[in-house]
């Protein structure tokens, strides 16, 4: 299984265009050492030629331009992207579908709850019907594994996670099963397993067992502390209110990742305020001391 990190930042990217928090101002002026990052999305392949897109960020055009395997140029109009899987209906994971309209029809895999959001509050399925057949809805049953034609060795197992629907969703404050999923992705050829959960709001014992059995875990690294938005003065909501589990301290994701001995541990979906973006920060040093990596655009993993 080939994994390519198209984008590793949370909504708004890094630096965020209108933000002057210490990180954004610092990277913009060269005062801190940090990598510029686009909004979160990854691509998967079993052969290095045909790819599945997991989430379609607003930065998708820029990301695919940087990802040469996405444009194999075998014919006049071509792409290596075969299918799209959506983990949720957040704008930073779905608005990239609009930029893919020239490639329609496109198979888009998502739960019924995500499809409802993307047919009402943000009706991208309806809008793109006018582009060569638009988006072809492929239903994900949150309780059932699925496979995708052309990717015979990969099996996708949805896992319902605690998080939040986007602000525009009618059930933002009334969670439904399927608002957010993680994926256990098994490669039956290599017998390797990836656990992908960029919108993780809580880690419980079943998720701990899944992560311990995986060869790579790639989970939500949005915020270092639960009240980080308040501390930096850029917002009033906590991480938990937004559906994101913080990294540090008691109950934070790092306290769980420390317990894992088997998998490669990677944080993705990093908010622009998170101090781990500063490559000279004590927070990043703490992650490194615990063998936890921070995803960056262009990062490649092979399982």
Nearest to residue 106, comparing CAs of 127, 135, 133, 132?
135
d(CA 207, CA 148): 24
d(CA 30, CA 240): 32
- The pLDDT score that the predictor gives to residue 240 is 87
Using alpha carbons, list the distances in angstroms from residue 58 to 43, 61, 93, 236: 15, 8, 7, 24
Please give the radius of gyration of the chain, using alpha carbons only, rounded to the nearest integer: 18
Residues of the chain with pLDDT under 50: none
* Homologous superfamily of 2-302: Ribonuclease Z/Hydroxyacylglutathione hydrolase-like (3.60.15.10)
Are 188 and 153 in contact by the 8 Å Cβ rule? The answer is yes
- 125-135 burial, b at 16+ Cβ within 10 Å, e below that, comes to bebbeebeebb
pTM across the whole model: 0.96
Q: Which two tokens stand for residue 70?
A: 């996405």
Are 281 and 275 in contact by the 8 Å Cβ rule? The answer is yes
Domain ranges (residues) in the chain: 2-302
- 99-109 burial, b at 16+ Cβ within 10 Å, e below that, comes to bbbeebebebb
């Amino acid at each position: 299984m080939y994994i390519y990190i198209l984008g590793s930042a949370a909504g708004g990217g890094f630096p965020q265009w209108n933000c002057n928090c210490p990180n954004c101002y610092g990277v913009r002026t060269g005062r801190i050492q940090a990598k510029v990052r686009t909004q979160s999305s990854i691509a998967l392949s079993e052969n290095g030629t045909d790819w599945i897109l997991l989430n379609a960020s607003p930065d998708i055009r820029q990301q695919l331009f940087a990802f040469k395997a996405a444009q194999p140029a075998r014919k006049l109009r071509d792409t290596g992207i075969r299918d799209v899987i959506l983990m949720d209906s957040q704008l930073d994971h779905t608005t990239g579908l609009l930029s893919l309209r020239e490639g329609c029809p496109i198979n888009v895999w998502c739960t019924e709850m995500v499809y409802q959001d993307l047919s009402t509050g943000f009706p991208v399925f309806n809008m793109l019907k006018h582009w060569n057949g638009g988006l072809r809805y492929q239903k994900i049953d949150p309780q059932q594994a699925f496979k995708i034609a052309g990717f015979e060795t990969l099996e996708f197992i949805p896992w319902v996670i605690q998080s939040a629907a986007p602000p525009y969703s009618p059930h933002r404050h009334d969670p439904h099963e399927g608002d957010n999923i993680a994926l256990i992705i098994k490669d039956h050829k290599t017998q390797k397993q990836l656990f992908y959960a960029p919108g993780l709001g809580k880690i419980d014992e079943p998720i701990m067992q899944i992560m311990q059995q995986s060869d790579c875990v790639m989970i939500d690294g949005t915020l270092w502390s639960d009240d980080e938005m308040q501390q930096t003065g850029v917002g009033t909501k906590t991480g938990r209110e937004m559906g994101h589990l913080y990294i540090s301290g008691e109950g934070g994701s790092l306290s769980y990742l420390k317990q894992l001995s088997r998998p490669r541990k990677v944080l993705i979906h990093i908010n622009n305020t998170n101090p781990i973006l500063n490559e000279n920060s004590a927070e990043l040093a703490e992650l490194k001391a615990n063998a936890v990596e921070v995803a960056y655009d262009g990062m490649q993993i092979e399982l």
